[in-house]
Amino acid sequence: MITKTTFKAGAVQFDVKIGNVRENLSVALSHLEHLADQGACLGVCPEFFLTGFDNENITRLMPAVKEGIQRLTEFARNRSMAVAGSLPEQGNGQIFNTLYLIDADGEIRIRYRKLHLFPLTGEHLYYARGDEMVTADTSLGRVGTMICYDLRFPELARRLFLDGARLFVVSAQWPLARVAHWQALIRARAIENQAWFICCNRTGTDPDGLVFPGSSMIVDPNGSVLAQGDDEPGIIMADIDMDLVDLVRQTIPVEQDRRGDIYG
């Protein structure tokens, strides 16, 4: 597999319609096409971007989700663009919140099941927790994955860093009430781990009145925000230079200087 060192990456944010897989897929593909037309090699979508948190009906939606994944793999292969985002996944009689990364050849390189389920929305009542951290080699380098609430756990990001992650993909449905946390945590995780962060958050309002601010972000290994969305549906995009990871890590050798003998 040829690994790119410079490429364009983007995020597609939109108002995810609860339970309407067909409409959500159409909107996601339209935005992804726009990214591909501008030369992007990676497009990141929000958390549960095909279904929303239609918790009571999620099992019924699984056949449509599987068809959606097939459409997304075909798109990735036809446009030579990696696609990532969180979707419900059925396994062992349970439903997981799983981030898929479909590489530019149409192959699924990552299935990461969310480790930290958000108790304030009752996510743990409907979905099973994952039990494995995931990094993988892709056409864009070694990628680590996180979903929404995971951003609040620096231990996870650090373990992915120690496993070689150079680019992090994050899907979220992060509410407006805590958007300042979203913005600060992304920059902190990027600075701590000296890696690129491509983070996508949804827009709009869910049926319970919870408002989502968009504010998708692309942050470089220095913590600089290269692109940030507003609260409207659309795309953001930035040029990614993976050599910057090496430069930052050589300048401030965090991995070399960390005291794993003291704190693990």
Which among 17, 47, 89, 199 is annotated as catalytic?
47
The residue ranges of DSSP E strands in the chain, in sequence order, are 6-13, 40-44, 82-91, 94-102, 108-113, 135-138, 141-147, 167-172, 196-201, 203-205, 211-213, 217-219, 225-228, 234-241
Which among 8, 17, 45, 114 is annotated as catalytic?
114
Rounded Cα distance between 243 and 61, Å, is 42
- Collapsed DSSP state (helix, strand, coil) of residue 177: helix
Which among 45, 148, 199, 200 is annotated as catalytic?
148
Rounded Cα distance between 194 and 253, Å, is 10
148 in active site: yes
114 in active site: yes
200 in active site: no
Catalytic residues: 47, 114, 148
